[in-house]
Amino acid sequence: MAYASLPLSSSPIEFGTDGWRGVLGVDITIERLLAVAAASAQELAYRAPSGLKSRKILIGFDRRFLAPELAEASAAAIRGSGLEPLLASTPLTTPACSWAVVQRKALGALVITASHNPPEWLGMKIKGPFGGSVESDFTKAVEKRLLAGGKIIPLEGITKRFDGRKEHLEGLRSKFDISGMVEGLNQLGLKLIIDPMHGVAAGCISEVFGEEGSNLIQEIRSQRDTLFGGNSPEPLQTYLSELISRVKAANASGQKTIGLAFDGDGDRIAAVDEKGNFCSTQLLIPLLVDHLGRTKNLPGSVIKTVSGSDVITLVAKSIGRKVVELPVGFKYIAAEMLSDQVLLGGEESGGVGFGGHLPERDALFTALVLIEALVEGGRSLGDYLDSLKRRFGGECVYDRIDLRLASMENRNRLEALLKEEPPLKVASQDVIEVSCLDGVKFRLGQGYWLMMRFSGTEPLLRIYCEAPSHEKLFETLEWAKEFAQAA
């Protein structure tokens, strides 16, 4: 069946830090998606490394509304571009798509997903032949192809399928001593509650552990729900109340238990310790660095984004590791992982990648490294984190708020003010240093900083803060909100 030329909407298609996303039916329509799929596939073929003869483009999709159907439609656009589409047989995590690209030596992958965004959103991520997100110059080239126009003639045909979920989970099993981890968890008397937040990571940890670990794992919110319970499938404390209450109840009954949560497409992670405390990657990354670098003595530098905790730097330097700080966005970390030997790269929003795995966030791999760290350390999550606090200066608390400004005019005025006349004091604290690596970051002391970073497309200000106490954290965030609204 032939299709007519598919026109684009009048609004331009623009990629964000990792892919193209928007509201389904408004920003994301089948016409626009097919155009983006074709342009992305053509750019992957154009940029194929010398010696890579493949014509295959893999297509993955998550559990969102219409994601499977739009993935199948994308296959026709890829075929119409003279390339060979290979479609996932089931919904699968984004890192599973990256794994499949590397294993098959494909040109790349297109993943129909909106990751952790609200339920009404959808979009597409582009993965290169190296198994990670493409960089900004690639997506700019895709945008230019779209602006240039041209006919898109999707071609119907039989699309081959691949079982990316099974292959990824088998790959994970091969990298860990699962039997040893099961035995260690039993010795610790520690059980796991898994919350995939209705996303594609559902059932994955249970499948990796298999029958021998079935008594250790309980899973909640594993069924497909395209509304994700009415919230964004992002592993933030505010969306994990059920997991936190389940973990607290289990421990109150005498069963030592921790929780693990994954976002909608399985590339972000958070945890809940045995005391019921929410643990973001600001806490988890230092633990992972300590385990891999000190306990296992694996090689490589540590990569963090500018919004990452100071504790990451302290732990890394204590074991003699170089620390590289980059702008927010895992694609910057991935580029470093491709050019140098990296132990671990992570960001505060939940994404962690490992040099011995993929240049890609993989929440399932991160979960297994975390479990391995607890088993080999012979202690539960809260105990391990408490030991790090004692070794590296005590309490260090973090939070982030998103503040919607009145208009883009207000946003632009505030951005200019921060760059041209940054404050000399923040919440009565002297500003020691100002960094403009990404947004504006004010250094107030060791383990104490405030960062303001703007959305590029809407009047939204992201405010990040790490402080030595909850009181200082609250005071500093309140100061930042008042400063932003008064500008």
pLDDT digits (tens, 9 = 90+) for 83-123: 999 999 999 999 999 999 999 999 999 999 999 999 999 99
Number of domains in the chain: 3
- Confidence grade of residue 7 (pLDDT, cut at 50, 70, 90): very low
Asked if residue 442 and residue 460 are part of one domain, the reply reads yes
Burial class (CB within 10 angstroms; exposed 0-12, middle 13-18, buried 19+) of 311: buried
**Residue where a domain stops, chosen among 391, 420, 435:** 391
Give the pLDDT confidence of 345-355 residue by residue, as tens digits: 999 989 999 99
Asked if residue 313 and residue 441 are part of one domain, the reply reads no
pLDDT at 103: 97
Of 4-18, 58-72, 315-329, the poorest mean pLDDT is in 4-18
pLDDT at 149: 82
**Residue where a domain stops, chosen among 357, 374, 391:** 391
Asked if residue 219 and residue 160 are part of one domain, the reply reads no
Neighbours of 9 (CB within 10 A): 12
- Contact assessment for residue 348 and residue 280, using Cβ atoms and an 8 Å cutoff: yes
pLDDT at 1: 32
Would 5 be classed as within a structural domain?
no
- Measured CA to CA, the distance from residue 374 to residue 30 in angstroms comes to 46
Reply yes or no on whether the pLDDT at 42 is more than 50.
Answer: yes
| Global pTM value | 0.94
pLDDT at 457: 66
What's the average model confidence in pLDDT over 268-285? 97
Would 80 be classed as within a structural domain?
yes
Q: Domain containing 200 — which CATH number? A: 3.40.120.10
Strand 429-430 to 397-404 pairing = unpaired
| Percent of the chain surpassing pLDDT 90 | 91
Give the pLDDT confidence of 285-330 residue by residue, as tens digits: 999 999 999 999 999 999 999 999 999 999 999 999 999 999 998 9
Asked if residue 193 and residue 135 are part of one domain, the reply reads no
Would 373 be classed as within a structural domain?
yes
Among 98, 15, 47, CA closest to 353: 98
pLDDT at 2: 36
Query: Residue 319 is which amino acid?
Result: I
Asked if residue 202 and residue 295 are part of one domain, the reply reads yes
Would 2 be classed as within a structural domain?
no
pLDDT at 396: 85
**Residue where a domain stops, chosen among 369, 391, 413:** 391
Q: Where in the sequence is the domain holding 234, given as residue range(s)?
A: 175-391
Would 3 be classed as within a structural domain?
no
Neighbours of 402 (CB within 10 A): 9
Asked if residue 269 and residue 161 are part of one domain, the reply reads no
**Average model confidence (pLDDT) across the chain:** 94
pLDDT at 20: 95
What's the average model confidence in pLDDT over 253-264? 98
Higher pLDDT, 487 or 55: 55
Asked if residue 241 and residue 337 are part of one domain, the reply reads yes
